Structure 1
Amino acid sequence: MKTRTITGIFFIIVMLASLLTGHYPFGIFYLLLALFCQFEFYGLIKQSGYQPNYAAGLVNGALIYTSFAYITYSHIIQPILFIVPVTLSAIFIQELFKKSATPFQNIAFTFLGLLFTIMPFTFFHAMAYVRGDFNFHLPLGFFVMLWSNDTGAYLTGRAFGRTKLFERHSPKKTWEGFIGGMVIAGIAGYILSIYYTELEWKQWVSIAILIACFGTLGDLVESMFKRSINVKDSGGILPGHGGLLDRFDGLLIAAPIVYCYLYFINY
């Protein structure tokens, strides 16, 4: 427990520092985080007997994130974006030269790594620019509500949980915990609206509801993935917490959904 607490506090401090210190630390930190998650995902796939293309996958992951980060920062389509289709073709080309019994499974899992890990962090990064210039309020608020949902779901589930939410994939999750997490996230959203007035309280609370729903979905999907390959934790990079995918499973589906909501209410 002590190791878990120390690791958690240290990592939260680093994450908050990346948000509060400006445009470049923010972009670089979440690029590295996305690539580590992608690397972790490929490692898990490799354990299941397939051979995703690490090099091509990671290069494309960095290029996709950087291309869209450039666009969200400048609000202009950058020429670098048109390199992506060329570099993506390398995933197919390299598989032609490999001796593998499952070439298309390898290709599919390489692309799935981009979709499952890189794209969510790309959308999360874009939240900071959805209203124009860099603003850390929205990504910080996202994490505050995500953590509030997780904590609320755990506490209310432990105290009142009776009805299983999705026992086949996550035996400990309950409907009572899910509802409790949503309520706590909604309260956090309302409090955020008092200090961060770029959104109305109804919009902050709406985001909290989206995070509760799709954050929980991301958690369930990651649990389903781990059960399908018979592993408990996605990795061991965070002592006491498991892997990075374990810590950011709630972001994987929620971040793109929340970004789309923010985009449409702003335009």
Structure 2
Amino acid sequence: MLSKYSNMTQRTVAGLIGILVILGAIFWSAWSFFFLFLFICVMAQQEFYKLAGIDGQVPLKTYGTFCGAVLFASTFLVSKGIIPDKSYYLIFPLMSVTYLVKLYTKGEKKPFTNIAYNFTGILYVALPFALLNIAAFQTGEYSHQVIIGVLFLLWASDTGAYFAGVNFGKRKLFVRVSPKKSWEGFFGGAILSLVTSYVVSLYFKELSSVEWLGMSVIIIIAGTYGDLIESLLKRSVSIKDSASTIPGHGGFLDRFDGLLFASPWIVAYLKFVCA
């Protein structure tokens, strides 16, 4: 009982500190946002390649993470108007070097499998974080509103799902991948996220209340699937958490799994519906 209480306290303290750091960096300036999420992107991608290593694969961990960091940085610098958008074309030859490295690497039984893991780490982790830059510069200049609003909706969904699932969860949502998740938890998270979207719309006026409501629906669905997808990844290598980097919370992949899958949908929604 004492151990359980200690773990909950550790989880709560780490969570509050993390929230304050994240919100502070996003609110402070474009550059503090950039450095924070670049760090998170690099850490999450490192965790992904570590999981691939547990599964017996040999991706180019350092080079793959470097390519992901370049993708994230390029998207930010283009969005901010510091470099031209044609700079994106440099990313493709940079990534193609992966084939050359594996071509000259001796002793690997499945080099193309390792190449696939390399690119998956970039597409699954770095690309969604890079797309957050586009969301942050949705109005043409950096604004904290969309990013903070999205995080509030995502955290509300996660929190509502946790407490509703613990107290009322009976009907399994996706037992093959995540036995603890329930439909009651899903709807609990959905209700809290929808309510939060209304509160967010009162303070963040870059999107209308209806657009924030639509954003909430995207996050509820895509965030849930993101969680399940990461659970599938961890189950495939038989581990509980992606890492133990954050006390009581696992790793960066564990904390941002919902955002990884939701991010492409969020940007598409902003560009096609809210533009």
Q: TM-score, normalised by structure 2?
A: 0.94
* Mean CA deviation greater in 146-155 or 63-72: 63-72
2:273 counterpart SS class: helix
**Aligned partner of 2:242 among 207, 222, 234:** 234
Quote the Cα distance in structure 2 between the aligned partners of 1:109 and 1:102: 11
CA distance in 2, matches of 1:80, 1:198: 29
Q: Tell me which residue corresponds to 1:190.
A: 198
In structure 2, relative to structure 1, the CA distance for the partners of 1:132 and 1:75 (3 Å cut) is farther
Counterpart Cα distance in 2 of 1:179 and 1:72 = 36
How many residues are treated as equivalent by the alignment?
267
> 5 Å matches for 1:172-251?
172-251=180-259
Structure 1 segments (4+ residues) deviating >4 Å: none
Deviation at 1:76, TM superposition (A): 7.2
| 5+ residue gaps, structure 2 | 1-7
Query: For residue 255 of structure 1, what is the aligned residue in structure 2?
Result: 263
Render the CA deviation track for 1:159-218: whole Å, top value 9, x for unaligned.
Answer: 222211100111111112111211110100011111112211111011111100000000
> For residues 137-161 of structure 1, what are the alpha-carbon distances to aligned partners after superposition, in whole Å with 9 as ceiling and x for unaligned?
1000000000000011111222222
For residue 83 of structure 1, the aligned residue among 73, 80, 90 is 90
Distance 1:195 1:6 in 2: 27
Quote the Cα distance in structure 1 between the aligned partners of 2:88 and 2:270: 23
Q: Return 105-114 or 48-57, whichever deviates more.
A: 48-57
Partner Cα separation in structure 2 for residue 186 and residue 29 of structure 1: 27
What is the SS of the residue equivalent to 2:173?
A: strand
In the TM superposition, residue 125 of structure 1 has moved relative to its aligned partner by 2.4
Amino acid at match of 2:180: K
> Structure 1 regions of 5+ residues with no counterpart?
none
Structure 2 counterpart of 1:7: 14
Q: How far apart are residue 103 of structure 1 and its match?
A: 0.1
Q: Once the two structures are aligned, what percentage of the paired residues are identical?
A: 37
Letter in 2 for 1:6: V
Query: Residue 119 of structure 2: which of 101, 111, 132 is its match?
Result: 111
* TM-score for both structures, normalised by structure 1: 0.96
Which residue in the other structure is 2:60 paired with?
53
Find the partner of 1:160 among 144, 164, 168: 168
Contact 1:65 1:122 in 2 (8 A): yes
Q: Is the 8 A contact 1:131 1:266 kept in 2?
A: no
- Hey, what does 1:25 align to over in structure 2? 32
Query: 2:214 & 2:87 partners in 1: Cα distance?
Result: 35
Distance 1:43 1:26 in 2: 26
Contact 1:56 1:90 in 2 (8 A): no
Post-superposition CA distance 1:208-255 (Å, at most 9, x none): 111000000000000000000001110011111111101111101111
Aligned residue number for residue 144 of structure 2:
136
Query: Is contact 1:169-1:220 (8 Å) kept?
Result: yes
1:72 to 79, 82, 92: 79
Report the residue type matching 1:119 in the other structure: L
Letter of the aligned partner of 1:134 in structure 2?
Y
Aligned-partner Cα distance in 1 for 2:65–2:170: 42
Query: Of the candidates 29, 37, 41, which is equivalent to residue 34 of structure 1?
Result: 41
